[in-house]
Copies of this chain bind each other. A is one copy, B any other.
């Protein structure tokens, strides 16, 4: 097979993760091995760095520096929320031509895969030989084809650890607690909260994901029911939960709040889904202690909360991307296939099987109206890794005098 000879460009798209730099370093280290890849450039701030020709020459980074970057959370090259159209992608290809770039590696989610697809199509149209490889990354875990996405395992580990400690907190000072988890369209990450529950009495007692319609009245009934049974209630809630008409619950509640003459449901407009539901629980269920945390950006790349399997696979998809680029004659997205309990291998899937699409939590992972099935536990367990041990006191009560 004839190899394309020229430069490689690697870029990072979308939100940071705890391990995305492992994939970056995997690409750079592997690309530096091959004589037909003449130099490895890193595009600063994603695709914007390509159209702006804002590159770092990663051929000259030391191996030690790269290994330090690999263990650093967030996107070391910088990222962007730009969603390139055909014209933008044309400018990218022209920049590639000027710099004699023949390999483009883009680490990101389904939007990044879509960019790869448009770039690859355009390059083919204008007869510019370019190999385009998409490298999966997203804490949302919603890419098609692949068994799971690098970045998800570490975020899921954070969510599991968070709910374990918040449940212990709620045991110590009982009440209702709502934890709001990222995931605009899919409940993969929110579902990971179930891993904090060991005993049936443990929280989270109720888990709400966007794959199921959220009924406000049913939610209040369910909270009340758990609170009556356990004297407390821990709720895991996806930020993206939707109402019957398909509208996000946050928008509906805001609408409701604006019409409230008493002022106590009025919102500033962001991250307040949990606060609004807390208010409703206080008002309608007359429960005094209701607390809510929105996990925010901490959950996507917390320093020191990293899944070992996630680290390993994030590196592997980066290195494997270069291997596929050099050994196969097609573009594509690197995907993970689960081959055992627990083992994986990698394959290349066509870009259009991943681009733009989102994979919701399958129905088989849902249980009832507010729980997650054991089959999901089996799926997610190896991705999170072992979390620290913890236990409750086991001692007999003293008889009253």
Where the two chains meet, the residues of A that have a C-beta atom closer than 8 Å to any C-beta of B are: 12, 15-16, 41-42, 53-58, 60-62, 65-66, 68-69, 71-81, 98-99, 161-162, 164-166, 168-169, 171-174, 177, 257-258, 263-272, 275-276, 278-279, 291-298, 300-305, 387-398, 400-401
Name the contact of A61 in the complex, choosing from B65, B292, B298, B393 (C-beta under 8 A).
B393
Residues of B within 8 Å of A395, CB to CB, are 42, 56-58, 60-61, 65
Residues of B within 8 Å of A305, CB to CB, are 304-305
Say whether B61 contacts A173, CB under 8 Å: no
The answer to whether A303 and B270 touch (CB under 8 A), given A61-B395, A291-B297, A397-B57, is no
The answer to whether A303 and B390 touch (CB under 8 A), given A263-B266, A272-B272, is yes
State the Cβ distance, A26 to closest chain B Cβ, in Å: 14
* Distance A196 CA – B99 CA, assembled complex (angstroms): 38
Say whether B165 contacts A81, CB under 8 Å: no
Known: A61-B393, A62-B394, A76-B392. 16 other contacts (CB 8 A): A42-B393, A56-B396, A60-B396, A65-B395, A71-B390, A72-B390, A74-B169, A161-B302, A162-B303, A168-B303, A268-B268, A268-B272, A271-B275, A272-B272, A294-B296, A304-B387
Provide the main secondary structure of the chain A interface: loop
Say whether A297 contacts B166, CB under 8 Å: yes
State the Cβ distance, A109 to closest chain B Cβ, in Å: 14
Please list 28 pairs of residues, one from A and one from B, whose beta carbons are closer than 8 Å in the complex, sorted by A's number: A16-B172, A16-B173, A42-B393, A53-B398, A55-B397, A56-B395, A58-B393, A62-B394, A65-B391, A69-B393, A72-B168, A73-B165, A73-B168, A74-B168, A77-B393, A78-B172, A78-B174, A99-B401, A161-B302, A165-B301, A165-B303, A169-B297, A267-B267, A268-B268, A268-B276, A270-B278, A293-B298, A304-B305
